[in-house]
Amino acid sequence: MGSNPGGLMAMQPQPQQQQQQSQQQHGSQAAFGNMGTAQNLQSNMAALQNNPNFAQQRQQNQQGVEEDAKVTWDRATALSKEFRIFNFLEDPLLQRKLEKKAWKKPHRGMIKINFDASVYDKKAFYGLVARDANGFVLGGRTGFVNKEMHIEWAEIQAMEESINFARSNNWKNV
């Protein structure tokens, strides 16, 4: 076979020509294809920056993000001014009622029993604590009733338990 190897080589594009043709055909996708060295990285970045599609897309993305941020900021500012919820520079529109809640001591020689109840699922829970005039805790109790009931009935149950607790300790001045 009398073929000319040099002639075949002349018909095949050189590696550098292949890379340039690939970049022209595939745009920014080919720019990331061969990043072996710093020189390739620089040439790939230059190809991306010079690609008009890349520059236009980048600019559109930046404008979109800036517009979204501006819209969000404008909405938040409008809501803040309208409702003045967390505005520390101006007085709130609705004034808070300040109620000072604290435990009050019973009179001397008396015992005070505080109780509370809650309802969860199909159970009513209660708790109570008994204190003297100095605030010293004399005792307490917690429990539950395995029965579905409204919170009002659970509070009544807690009051009944408080009365039973006072009777079981023979306390007369409750």
This prediction's pTM: 0.44
Closest CA to 131 of 157, 78, 169: 169
3-class SS of residue 134:
coil
Percent of the chain topping pLDDT 70: 56
Sheet holding 112-120, edge to edge: 112-120, 123-131, 137-145
Kindly report which listed range (45-59, 67-81, 112-126, 133-147) carries the lowest average pLDDT score: 45-59
